Chains A and B, each alone.
Chain A
């Protein structure tokens, strides 16, 4: 059996993210998957298996959502659902299948069509626990982390705003980003409050979109391109939907991020993350989410997330480039597509093909994907261009 480190990405594709009212699920999947196959220089007949990340039932059920779009009839295709990590979990399962040598060439993709579904914001009816999490929306659930972080470490609303300013600065030059504009600190601070302290510009948008990646073994990858990227580390963790039942839950860290990162760093042999990782696509559904995540990923000390961001340590040319794509905040967040879109960005960065937003000399990049109200599940994938 091969090893996860023998798994390579040889092609990536993504649609523009945004309010894609003109495009249906099939349209977006077709665009992303064929772009990935063209990038890998393979035909659909080459694909032996597929995984598709979708969170919401109105987007689609089952593996046939993918085969209906790209007409890969009869191969096994699995639908993965794992909250906002649905896409990165599709990628993880595809990588494990290739490492097992059951398949030589597979596709991992994700898609979500959230506009036109009839509700406002992310649908929450029938979602989550009817008693314990009654009525909490995503901004409310993540907003709960702020008062505790502020008391423990002095984090301010202005620290949060710096996350939005940085990610919009990066995403403004990204042709596929939902928003292609910068925002100022003042605009973020003055935006209408959604759920305190999170204002409109502290929240990622409701987006449609799709992304895809073609995955194979390194010995096969060499026949397709020289600049393939490989898996260096991978870790996943599921915690609980009901963290309030955990006596030790303190709102100061996302536990699944900590646990998934521990596993990924151990596999990658990384002991000093800020000096060994060049860039990270880091889950920033809300600005407070990124602040805790950069600490939990070890990119700065616990409690330093706000000041470190404000000082520019996570700018595109900082110690670690956090969200060079623009992140969920600016690039957008079609739930099931996001994890694969992170792999898309990290791959482009490691191939030196991230036009206008390139992290110079990038060798090691991370996709970090967190899901669930208040940090329930997490995936961390570390990719490298070092052979």
Chain B
């Protein structure tokens, strides 16, 4: 089959798609985003049974499957658990121009890790265990990027 193009001209169909889409964040994350957008605060919710604190919040505890209506305000600071420096650009898809740092941040007062960007520091200086605090956008619209990035603190 490899040499079929010697016998007939290959016809290629040039397709084009544009795919704007919307995605409801649901009951629990809506509460979280409204707090972030309107008050610039990062909240978490706590399992009434095992006490695990989730951020971003979940409807039910992944261990106990209990509803979590117990909300706690977090200080916003946290510690970098691990990270990667993105160097290859994906035009139109990246949140900012590479190189930039994605990290998993263990938020103070919570038990779970949260994925976000690290800014205000040279990528090569980022380390596991580094303490960070959030930098918020002034104009916020209820999106994960309302937190611009987390920056290192002393």
Is the pair B84, A124 in contact by a Cβ cutoff of 8 Å?
no
- Beyond A144-B84, A145-B82, is A137–B90 a contact (Cβ under 8 Å)? yes
The smallest C-beta distance from A195 to any residue of chain B, in angstroms, reads 5
How many chain A residues sit at the interface, stated as a range, is 35 or more
User: What residues of chain A lie closer than 8 Å to B81, measured between beta carbons?
Assistant: 148, 251
CA distance A255 to B81 in the complex (A): 18
How many chain B residues sit at the interface, stated as a range, is 35 or more
CA distance A135 to B102 in the complex (A): 9
Is the pair A120, B90 in contact by a Cβ cutoff of 8 Å?
yes
Q: Fill in one digit per residue for B124-144: 1 if any A CB lies within 8 Å of its CB, else 0.
A: 000010000000000000001
- Beyond A135-B94, A136-B115, is A195–B84 a contact (Cβ under 8 Å)? yes
User: What residues of chain B lie closer than 8 Å to A133, measured between beta carbons?
Assistant: 115
CB proximity to A under 8 Å, residues B19-51: 19, 21, 23, 25, 29
Q: Fill in one digit per residue for A115-145: 1 if any B CB lies within 8 Å of its CB, else 0.
A: 0001011001110001111111101100111
- Contacting A118 at CB < 8 Å: which of B15, B85, B86, B95? B15
CA distance A194 to B65 in the complex (A): 38
A76 sits at the interface (CB 8 A): no
- Beyond A245-B62, A245-B112, is A22–B84 a contact (Cβ under 8 Å)? no
CA distance A88 to B28 in the complex (A): 36
Is the pair A192, B88 in contact by a Cβ cutoff of 8 Å?
yes
The smallest C-beta distance from B103 to any residue of chain A, in angstroms, reads 8
Interface positions of A (Cβ within 8 A of B) = 22-23, 27, 31, 118, 120-121, 124-126, 130-137, 139-140, 143-148, 151, 192-198, 240, 242, 244-247, 249, 251
| 15 chain-A/chain-B pairs, Cβ below 8 angstroms | A22-B1, A31-B1, A118-B15, A126-B23, A132-B114, A135-B93, A136-B102, A136-B115, A140-B84, A147-B128, A148-B128, A195-B86, A196-B85, A196-B87, A244-B114
